[in-house]
């Protein structure tokens, strides 16, 4: 008994029960049994009642003579079986035992030989006349080669993403080292100046050191978070890469096909990693603290009362860092949308329409301002999001008080950072602070989009 190591098909399974030879131009009857076309025609012609057509296997009688159309998939399997060299007969027998016994059709008990592209399911030859009739069916080894090619094509892309993340991690490590070096140098120089001060020296130096160390630790903390995120993505890529390689090395057809979707999902989950961009490295500037301390010797004793520690500057938190550490992609709440606003399917973009949209009544719906609320609300921590806008005039409004913003050029994207604990809401453009709202956020804050020109759109960006 010969078998194919690619499909697990026995030669016996491809023999016509009339002539006991491999099928020649096989056809499949409505009952599911297959025969050589010549054999079935001769069988019917030999019947005493020429108008009666039956199946030589199950004896089912067909009132109308079935159309004898060639079973293309079965014919391909026969051709492949003919190519199996006789010297490999023993090996094929072993593969046949494993595959045929463990990989059988649950409906007919026959070996799995085919794959239905429409239903994405495995099947035997008999399944072709059932629910898979007229479906696109191919031998399993063909789809195996096709899908294996799809995975192989993902290798260069995955490697590129891995290299990109490794480069990012290297840059972040360098920034951590530079931040540590710059902070340490400043602290050492401050210790030297401390000797020149009188009774207020201890207080002033401790204050300045605290400012430097605080900023240094904040920056290192931010960089460490970025490093952790990149490491996490790098680990995910490495795991996915290992999974991909394992799949490509998997020579067992059915096992490969069953795990194929999982591999594709893992590849899709890491496909966006390579799109991350690193901002230009920024090093903390401690010159202000050093200058203040150098001038302190010349100032009177009231200097300490007016001196304030320098906080971590927003310019040191570039938009790339904000996006990585605090990035959010809010979705819009259709129940709050004004009737002149149309919401996109992904719940990210709001477009102003000339006529009202037929929305159901809802207590949250805007009826005066042409606006729409986000479904997300924030009550603590820091949260950053970006929007794409298409306007020429830019202004902010808070408590019915408007402030015109001077924005060079005609930018399309703006960033917004909400710091609930500090009570600040900051507007950015190209990492430059345009405006800062300050207040006490006692209630949860919801982003809102307003669109005031027909045909104009505003979109929450996805990270």
For residue 2, is pLDDT > 50? Answer: no
Which comes out higher in pLDDT, residue 304 or 152? 152
First to last CA, the chain: 58
Same domain, 407 and 359: yes
pLDDT at residue 276, rounded to an integer: 52
Mean pLDDT for 152-178 is 88
| φ/ψ (deg, to 5) at 211 | -65, -45
pLDDT at residue 150, rounded to an integer: 87
Q: Which of 46-60, 158-172, 227-241, 358-372 has the lowest mean pLDDT?
A: 46-60
Q: Tokens standing for 351? A: 């477009």
Among 449, 442, 390, smallest CA distance to 416 is for: 449
For residue 263, is pLDDT > 50? Answer: yes
Same domain, 205 and 240: yes
* 3 state DSSP class of 10: strand
* pLDDT level of residue 354 (50, 70, 90 thresholds): very high
Same domain, 297 and 329: no
For residue range 391-435, list pLDDT tens digits in order. 656 666 666 677 776 666 666 788 999 998 888 898 888 778 888
Cβ neighbour number for residue 134 with a 10 Å cutoff:
7
Same domain, 358 and 444: yes
For residue 187, is pLDDT > 90? Answer: no
Q: Which long-range contacts (CB under 8 A, 24 or more apart) does 254-261 make?
A: 254/99, 254/103, 254/112, 254/122, 254/140, 256/144, 256/147, 256/148, 257/115, 257/122, 257/140, 257/143, 257/144, 257/147, 260/147, 260/151
Whether 350 contacts 449, CB under 8 Å:
yes
Mean pLDDT for 289-314 is 61
Tell me whether strands 424-429 and 341-343 are parallel, antiparallel or unpaired: unpaired
pLDDT at residue 89, rounded to an integer: 46
Same domain, 287 and 344: no
CA dihedral 64, 69, 74, 75 (to 10 degrees): 140
Mean pLDDT for 104-127 is 82
For residue 49, is pLDDT > 70? Answer: no
pLDDT at residue 4, rounded to an integer: 43
pLDDT at residue 336, rounded to an integer: 95
Q: Which of 150-164, 285-299, 301-315 has the lowest mean pLDDT?
A: 301-315
Question: 155 lies in a domain?
Answer: no
pLDDT at residue 409, rounded to an integer: 64
Per the structure, how many domains does the chain have? 3
Which residue, of 85, 101, 117, is where some domain finishes? 101
Mean pLDDT for 312-338 is 81
Mean pLDDT for 12-20 is 78
For residue 196, is pLDDT > 70? Answer: no
Q: Tokens standing for 411? A: 């930018």
Same domain, 303 and 348: no
Mean pLDDT for 130-140 is 79
Which residue, of 268, 285, 312, is where some domain finishes? 312
pLDDT at residue 410, rounded to an integer: 65
Same domain, 296 and 394: no
Return the top range by mean pLDDT from 247-261, 264-278, 326-340, 444-458. 326-340
Same domain, 178 and 307: yes
Q: Tokens standing for 12? A: 């016996």
Same domain, 339 and 284: no
Same domain, 348 and 223: no
pLDDT above 90 coverage of the chain, percent:
14
Phi-psi region of 52 (alpha: psi -120 to 50; beta: other; left: phi over 0): beta
Question: 167 lies in a domain?
Answer: no
- Structural domain boundaries, residue 55: 11-101
Tell the burial category of 49 from Cβ atoms under 10 Å away from its Cβ (0-12, 13-18, 19+). Answer: exposed
Tell me the DSSP string of 403-453.
Answer: EE---SS---EEEEEEETTTTEEEEEETTEEEEEEE----S-B--EEE--S
Taking the C-alpha atoms of residue 249 and residue 122, their distance in angstroms, rounded to an integer, is 21
Mean pLDDT for 251-273 is 80
For residue 116, is pLDDT > 70? Answer: yes
Any idea what the CATH number is for the domain that residue 446 is in?
A: 2.60.120.920
Q: Which of 66-70, 189-193, 215-219 has the lowest mean pLDDT?
A: 189-193
Q: Which long-range contacts (CB under 8 A, 24 or more apart) does 425-430 make?
A: 426/314, 427/396, 428/314, 428/319, 428/322, 430/319
pLDDT at residue 302, rounded to an integer: 61
Mean pLDDT for 245-270 is 81
Whether 186 contacts 214, CB under 8 Å:
no
pLDDT at residue 359, rounded to an integer: 92
Question: 407 lies in a domain?
Answer: yes
* pLDDT level of residue 58 (50, 70, 90 thresholds): confident
Same domain, 338 and 249: no
Which residue, of 101, 118, 137, is where some domain finishes? 101
Q: Tokens standing for 439? A: 């207040």
Same domain, 181 and 308: yes
Question: 90 lies in a domain?
Answer: yes
Question: 3 lies in a domain?
Answer: no
Question: 133 lies in a domain?
Answer: no
Any idea what the CATH number is for the domain that residue 49 is in?
A: 3.30.40.10
């Amino acid at each position: 008994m010969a078998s194919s190591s690619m499909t697990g098909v026995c030669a016996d399974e491809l023999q016509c029960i009339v002539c006991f030879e491999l099928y020649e131009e096989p056809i499949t009857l409505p009952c599911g049994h297959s025969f050589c076309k010549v054999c079935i025609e001769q069988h019917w012609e030999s019947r005493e009642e020429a108008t009666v057509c039956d199946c030589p296997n199950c004896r089912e009688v067909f009132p109308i003579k079935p159309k004898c159309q060639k079973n293309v998939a079965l014919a391909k399997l026969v051709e492949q079986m003919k190519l199996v060299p006789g010297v490999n007969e023993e090996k094929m027998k072993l593969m046949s035992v494993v595959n045929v016994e463990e990989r059988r059709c649950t409906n007919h008990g026959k070996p799995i030989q085919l794959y239905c592209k429409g239903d994405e399911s495995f099947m035997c030859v008999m399944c072709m006349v059932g629910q898979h009739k007229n479906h696109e069916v191919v031998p399993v080894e063909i789809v195996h080669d096709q899908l294996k090619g799809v995975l192989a094509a993902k290798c260069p892309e995955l490697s590129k993403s891995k290299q990109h993340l490794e480069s990012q991690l290297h840059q972040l490590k360098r920034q951590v080292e530079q931040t540590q070096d710059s902070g340490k140098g400043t602290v050492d120089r401050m210790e030297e100046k401390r000797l020149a001060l009188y009774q207020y020296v201890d207080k002033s130096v401790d204050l300045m050191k605290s400012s430097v160390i605080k900023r240094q630790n904040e920056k290192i903390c931010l960089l460490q978070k970025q490093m952790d995120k990149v490491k996490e993505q790098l680990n995910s890529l490495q795991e996915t890469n290992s999974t991909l390689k394992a799949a490509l090395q998997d020579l067992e057809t059915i096992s490969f096909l069953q795990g194929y979707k999982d591999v594709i999902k893992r590849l899709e989950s890491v496909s966006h990693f390579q799109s991350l961009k690193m901002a230009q490295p920024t090093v903390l500037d401690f010159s202000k603290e050093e200058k203040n301390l150098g001038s302190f010797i010349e100032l009177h004793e009231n200097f300490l009362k007016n001196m304030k520690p320098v906080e971590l500057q927003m310019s040191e938190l570039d938009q790339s860092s904000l996006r990585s550490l605090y990035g959010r992609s809010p979705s819009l709440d259709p129940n709050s949308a004004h009737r002149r606003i149309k919401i996109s399917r992904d719940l990210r973009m709001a477009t102003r329409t000339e006529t009202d949209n037929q929305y159901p009544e809802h207590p949250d719906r805007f009826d005066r301002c042409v606006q729409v609320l986000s479904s997300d609300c924030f009550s603590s921590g820091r949260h950053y999001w970006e929007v794409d806008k298409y306007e020429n005039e830019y202004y902010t409004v808070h408590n019915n008080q408007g402030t015109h913003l001077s924005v060079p050029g005609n930018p399309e994207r703006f960033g917004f950072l909400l710091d609930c604990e500090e009570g600040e809401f900051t507007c950015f453009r190209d990492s430059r602070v345009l405006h800062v709202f300050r207040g006490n956020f006692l209630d949860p804050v919801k982003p809102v989009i307003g669109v005031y020109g027909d045909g104009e759109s505003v979109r929450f960006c996805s990270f």
